[in-house]
A and B are shown apart, each in its own frame.
Chain A
Amino acid sequence: MEPQILLDKNTLKIVVVASIIFIGSLVFRQLFLGSTSIIKLNNGSYLSGVISQSLASSTLNAKDGVNFSITNQRFFDNNLYALVTLKPLNGSDFSGFIVFKDFSGFYIPILGPGTAINVNYLISLPKDLSQYLVTNGYTYEPTY
Chain B
Amino acid sequence: MNQPTNSRIQQIVIIMSGIFILWGIYIIVSSVLVHNKTGLLVVKTSSGNSSISVSKLSHDSSLLGRGNSRNRLIPGNYLVIAQSSGKTVYKVVSVFDKKTTNISLSSSDSYTVPSIYSVDFVNSSYLLAQGISNGQLGLIEKSLYSFKPTAKNLVFYDKSVYYAPVDINTATNFTMYFTLSIDSVQYKAAINYSNINNLDLSLYNYSSVKVFDSGVVSF
> Which residues from chain A sit less than 8 Å from chain B, CB to CB?
3-8, 11, 14-15, 17-19, 21-26, 28-29, 32-50, 52-54, 56-58, 61, 63-64, 101, 103-111, 118, 120-121, 123-125, 141-142, 144
Contact = CB atoms under 8 A, between A and B. Distances in A.
The DSSP consensus for interface residues of chain A is mixed
B58 A43 contact: yes
A120 B116 CA distance: 6
B40 interface: yes
A39 B115 contact: no
A70 to B, nearest CB: 13
Interface in B145-197: 145-146, 149
B38 A38 contact: yes
Nearest to B80: A53
A37 B40 CA distance: 10
A-B pairs, 6 with minimum CB distance = A49-B55, A18-B17, A25-B24, A144-B138, A25-B27, A21-B24
Contacts of A142: 138
A21 B20 contact: yes
A47 B158 CA distance: 50
B57 interface: yes
B61 A41 contact: yes
Contact of A36 (B23, B53, B70, B149): B70
